[in-house]
Amino acid sequence: MAADESGGVNRVSACLCVLCGLPAAGKSTLARGLLGTAARLGWRAAVVQYDDLIPEHAFQNRVAEEGVEMQDMHTDWKIHRQAVLQCVEQFLEGPQVLATLPSSRHIDRAAWERCIKTLQQPETSDRAPLLFLLDDNFYYPSMRYEVYQVARKDSLGFCQVYLQCDLESCNSRNQSRPEPVPTEVMEDMVRRIEPPNPQKNSWEKNSMSLNTSGTLSDSDIQKVMELIFSAMSNPVSPVEDNTEQTEADRLKCATSVIHQADQACRRLVSEAMKTAKESQVPPEHMKSLAAQLNEAKATFLHNLRKQMLQEAAFMQEEDMDIDRVVKRAVDVFDHEKQEVLSRIINEAT
One-letter identity of residue 288: S
Taking the C-alpha atoms of residue 62 and residue 82, their distance in angstroms, rounded to an integer, is: 16
The answer to whether residue 160 scores a pLDDT higher than 90 is yes
The whole-number pLDDT of residue 67 equals 37
The answer to whether residue 7 scores a pLDDT higher than 60 is no
* Dihedral-angle region of residue 215 (phi above 0 means left; psi in -120 to 50 means alpha; beta otherwise): beta
Point out the least confidently predicted range of 18-32, 177-191, 310-324: 310-324
CB 44 within 8 A of CB 124: yes
Q: What pLDDT digit, counting tens, does each position of 269-328 carry? A: 999 999 999 999 999 999 999 999 999 998 988 888 877 766 554 454 445 567 778 888
The answer to whether residue 129 scores a pLDDT higher than 80 is yes
What is the pTM assigned to this prediction?
Answer: 0.66
What are the two backbone dihedrals, phi and then psi, of residue 99, each rounded to the nearest 5 degrees?
-65, -30
CA dihedral 215, 218, 223, 225 (to 10 degrees): 120
Helical H runs in the chain?
3-6, 27-40, 50-53, 56-60, 70-93, 109-115, 141-153, 167-175, 183-192, 218-233, 243-278, 283-311, 322-348
C-alpha torsion sign, points 79, 171, 49, 12: negative
The whole-number pLDDT of residue 247 equals 60
Taking the C-alpha atoms of residue 76 and residue 99, their distance in angstroms, rounded to an integer, is: 23
**pLDDT tier at 243, thresholds 50, 70, 90:** low
Q: Which domains does the chain have, with CATH numbers?
A: 3-233 (3.40.50.300), 243-348 (no CATH)
Point out the least confidently predicted range of 93-97, 115-119, 155-159, 168-172: 93-97
The answer to whether residue 3 scores a pLDDT higher than 60 is no
The whole-number pLDDT of residue 259 equals 85
Point out the least confidently predicted range of 13-27, 159-173, 314-328: 314-328
Taking the C-alpha atoms of residue 20 and residue 208, their distance in angstroms, rounded to an integer, is: 11
Distances in Å between the Cα of 330 and the Cα atoms of 65, 185, 260, 270, 298 are: 22, 21, 9, 14, 13
What are the two backbone dihedrals, phi and then psi, of residue 337, each rounded to the nearest 5 degrees?
-60, -45
Q: At what angle do helices 283-311 and 70-93 cross, to 10 degrees?
A: 10
The answer to whether residue 73 scores a pLDDT higher than 50 is no
**Residues in contact with 42: Cβ distance below 8 Å, sequence separation at least 6, in sequence order:** 125, 128, 129
The whole-number pLDDT of residue 2 equals 36
The whole-number pLDDT of residue 328 equals 85
CB 17 within 8 A of CB 160: yes
The answer to whether residue 66 scores a pLDDT higher than 70 is no
- Reduced to 3 states (helix: H, G, I; strand: E, B; else coil), residue 211 is strand
The answer to whether residue 5 scores a pLDDT higher than 60 is no
Q: Rg of the chain over CA atoms, in angstroms?
A: 23
**pLDDT tier at 51, thresholds 50, 70, 90:** confident
Nearest to 304 by CA among 346, 264, 347, 341: 264
Average pLDDT on 172-181 reads 87
